[in-house]
Structure 1
Amino acid sequence: MRKNFLTAALALGLSVTALPASAETIHLFGPFKTEHGATSPIKGSASAMLDTTKNTLTYRFEDNGLTGPVTAAHLHGPAADGEDAGVLAPINGPYQTRMTGTLNLSADQVKDVLAGKSYINLHTEKFPDGEARAQLTTELTGHKHHMDH
């Protein structure tokens, strides 16, 4: 009798977690890395909360070490780490070293963000195509993993 109860509870638990579009907020994080030939030792990172019910991404980021002030910033995707992609949503200024805000996304864009295929890109006068990017993933480490090579 006890075994059947446990099996039923496990089956119920699995079916509940498999339900799509449950109200959920997912925390994403990514360290800034240089790109497009930029070599300044950038410090800083981006974090975000993705609300899969409202389709919003609330971001917070800090950058240090860029060659100059940020001239534009965007959420880009879909792209894996190291790949370039188009703009999903603009991040509006005024640009500062520390910024927070909320972006409204489409359901498809939310899927890209959930899959780790989006990044915050910071553009400067010297690097108009982007000087630094932070790939947003659910991993809470800034360390490289075996999939990088």
Structure 2
Amino acid sequence: MMRSSVFMAMALAGSVAVVTPAMARTFHVMGQFAPSAGVTGTPTGGVTGTLDDKRNLVTYRLSWSGLSGPVTAAHFHGPADPGQDAGVMVPISGPYNSPLRGSVMMTADQVAALRAGRVYVNLHTAAHPDGEARAQLQVQDKH
């Protein structure tokens, strides 16, 4: 009787350990702004932030200078390899003043593209409505 109680307690403890949710991992997100294709200006600045892979939450800080005028829109685009264009994945809310901080929720597929280096941030201006500056994002383990 005692052995079966001990066995049941151990089995129950083992099953609880199996269903315990995985710990969220946090990753660094970063990228440097460069001119978009066909743009002759020299934008500077970049994107820094974090990715919480459990909640699919990206927290970001964008900073920029050297654009032809004020930023009129900003987005996460993808999936796209460096130098390739893609549609808007997630809009970035304004007001568009540097530095700009915020966070966005992404889908699991969008996070997979981000982790694969296939997402970029695009800054749009009146002179370049298709995008003046682009930062291809890289994700690294946070130590």
Task: Summarize the alignment of residues 39-118 of structure 1 with structure 2, pairs less than 5 Å apart.
Answer: 39-118=40-119
Q: Deviations over 1:92-138 (max 9, x none)?
A: 11110210100011111110111111011000000000000101103
Which one-letter code corresponds to 1:93 in the other structure?
Answer: G
> 2: CA distance between counterparts of 1:39 and 1:138?
28
Which one-letter code corresponds to 1:99 in the other structure?
Answer: L
Normalised by the length of structure 1, the TM-score is 0.77
Q: Does the aligned pair in 2 maintain the 1:36–1:129 contact within 8 Å?
A: no
CA-based RMSD: 1.2
Identical residues among aligned pairs (%) = 50
Deviation at 1:39, TM superposition (A): 1.3
Normalised by the length of structure 2, the TM-score is 0.80
Q: Deviations over 1:12-56 (max 9, x none)?
A: xxxxxxxxx751111011110101311111111111211100111
Aligned length: 119
Bigger Rg, structure 1 or 2:
2
Q: Which runs of 5+ in 2 are unaligned?
A: 1-21
Which one-letter code corresponds to 2:81 in the other structure?
Answer: A
Which consecutive aligned stretches of 4+ in structure 1 deviate over 3 angstroms post-superposition?
A: none
> 2: CA distance between counterparts of 1:44 and 1:91?
17
> 1: CA distance between counterparts of 2:92 and 2:40?
24
